[in-house]
Structure 1
Amino acid sequence: MRLAMQHPWILAVMLALVAGEILWRRHGALGYDGRAAAASLGVALGQTVFRPLTGVLLGAILFALAGVSPLHFPADDGRTWATGFLAVEFAYYWFHRFSHTVRWMWATHAVHHSAREYVLPSAIRLGWTEFFSLGWVFFAALVLLGFPPLVVVTLLGLNLIYQFPLHTEVIGRLGPLEWVFNTPSHHRAHHGSEAEFLDCNFGGVLIVWDRLFGTFRAEPEGRRLRYGLVHELDSRNPVRIALHEWGRMLADMRKAHGLGAKLKVALGRP
């Protein structure tokens, strides 16, 4: 979202896609929950407050790590960007997978899965607490391995931009492309809240890591999936959407007796 705000043409394309999706859904039988879409926008607006603070902190950390790394790949070499693309995709896969399987990280990521209607605005429904959930550690590791912070941050931003049009039911299956790339069909399965589709299809641009590591699930044919959280969150309040899972987790930690039990709640599965 931040990258889109910095480049107005990207934002214009995103808004045009949203308008087209609204017309398509309202012309058909699916309908469109405008209040839920507005709530997603409210969550995104909250990020305009938290993202700059997070960016300053993470920028300082990444440049400090780059300073102590024994390796330094040149940012003006195309091979750095090509290798960096695969490295960022690999790191994103594991970041995303851990965000579903470690409750401390899920507390931030659950925000993105809280939308019960699978539409483009749900793509910008992202948590405010990413610094505290520590998902950035996966990408900081790439800087320690010698990739320039500029390369890592740029490729990650493009990864997230790529995923925006995946959040729609307008686009069906895409044939052979589905073997290599993450597609709307694959990402719909990822957002399914039914038991057989929990914790699958974690890739960003590529779906190959899911195929290699056994987390790939194909979207079912002939029926629509149920979206949202397993414990449904029926709220249009951006603050509640952004913080509800932290509240649930901290309440469970308070009930646990002893440090070990509390850590088991925080580090266990959601």
Structure 2
Amino acid sequence: MERLGRSPVFLLLMLALVLLEWLWRRRVARLGYDGRGAWASVAIGIGNILSGVLGALVLGGLFLAVSRLAPVHWPIRDWRVWAVGFVAVEFAYYWFHRSSHTVRWIWATHAVHHTPEQMTLLSAVRLGWTNLFSFGWVFYLPLLLAGFDPRMVFALLAFDLHYQFFLHTEAIGRLGPLEWVLNTPAHHRVHHASNPDYLDCNYGGVLIVFDRLFGTLRIEQAGQPIRYGLAHPLGSLNPLKIVFGEWLRLFHDLRSAANLTRALRIIFGRP
């Protein structure tokens, strides 16, 4: 469910902004640009698209089957249904994203997205290939049982993930009153931090309101600059090691588990 659907227009916009950010980091901000890391993100992003094709085929059929079990079906052409659906998808995304940081099995896929050690726009496309296997999509099944059309759910998720592309940058500062309602680059930079005081926060997609409601909002502190990447770095830019590194760690620990209870604690426990 993390796959970024892309139209040609959006791809061109992405490319233009990536080039502008590259110039800004090198010529204006003097922050440098990790070219090898950027190419690793591109390679992983391409793999995510390919794996997403299989995921879309499987989940499309599954979502349609679950939708048929709903006692009511809300009209997809009613703007009010879209408005309520947007908030509902944001709510489901918040809990999916929060669980991706607190349930190790789901984290094994999501960890890929947190491996970049620079915050650039291309970090947005460094997404795992094992979304189908990690079962994060179950968080959206209640929306289908509540009567929302699967096409609406997929469309709103696509919008959510397109929006988040623009959050992965250091080129944009705080955005004033918008910070109270929207997820912004400032909020998302803190989400990607590996500093102990910043871990596990700011889970929103387009909105930041659920983080405010559930106490998971954190603001960057002036005296504590952000350190990006995993708390325990993989130490590799090999796309395959990045994609499967956390799974290898997980299965290594599972092989060492003394019994089923311990194995379940590893699977469902915190990363």
Shorter-chain TM-score: what band? Answer: over 0.9
Asked if 1 retains the 8 angstrom alpha-carbon contact of 2:4 and 2:125, the reply is no
2:246 aligns to what SS in structure 1? Answer: helix
1:219 CA displacement: 1.5
In 1, the alpha carbon distance for the partners of 2:48 and 2:227 equals 27
State the 1:222 CA deviation: 5.7
1:3 maps to what in 2? 5
Cα deviation per residue 1:81-109 (whole Å; 9 max; x = unaligned)? Answer: 00000000000000000000000000000
Identify the residue that residue 96 of structure 2 maps to in structure 1: 95
Shift of 1:206: 0.3
CA distance in 2, matches of 1:127, 1:264: 23
Q: How does 1:84-163 map to 2 (within 5 A)?
A: 84-163=85-164
Q: State the match for 2:19 in structure 1.
A: 19
Query: Is 1:210 equivalent to 2:220 in the alignment?
Result: no
After the TM superposition, list the runs of 4 or more consecutive aligned residues in structure 1 that deviate by more than 4 angstroms.
Answer: none
Percent identity over the alignment?
A: 56
What's the offset of the Cα at 1:233?
2.0
1:237 is the counterpart of 2:238: yes
Amino acid paired to 1:166: L
**Corresponding residue of 1:187:** 188
Report SS of the residue matched to 2:253: helix
How far did residue 29 of structure 1 move? Answer: 2.0
Partner Cα distance (2:270, 2:34) in 1: 31
Give the deviation of 1:139 after TM superposition: 1.0
Aligned partners of 1:219, 1:161: CA distance in 2, in Å? 24
How many pairs align? 268
Moved more, 219-228 or 249-258: 219-228
For normalisation by structure 2, the TM-score amounts to 0.97
In 1, distance between residues paired with 2:50 and 2:108?
19
Q: Bigger CA drift: 217-226 or 140-149?
A: 217-226
SS of match in other structure, 1:105: helix
| Structure 1 residue 197, shift from structure 2 partner | 0.6
Aligned partners of 1:216, 1:15: CA distance in 2, in Å? 31
Determine if contact 2:4/2:162 at 8 Å carries over to the other structure. Answer: no
Once the 2 structures are TM-superposed, how far is the Cα of residue 3 of structure 1 from its aligned partner? 1.9
Aligned to 2:60: 59
C-alpha distance in structure 1 between counterparts of 2:115 and 2:4, whole Å: 21
* Contact kept in structure 1, 2:4 and 2:161, CA below 8 Å: no
**Shift of residue 2 of structure 1?**
4.5
In structure 2, stretches of 5+ residues that fail to align are: none
For 2:22, give the aligned amino acid: I
Q: CA deviation at 1:67?
A: 1.0
Q: What is the SS of the residue equivalent to 1:159?
A: helix
Unaligned runs of 5+ in 1: none
Separation of aligned partners in 2, 1:2 and 1:162: 10
1:146-191 CA-partner distances (Å, limit 9, x unpaired): 0000110000000000000100000000000000000000000000
* 2:188–2:202 Cα contact (<8 Å) kept: yes
CA drift of 1:223 comes to 5.5
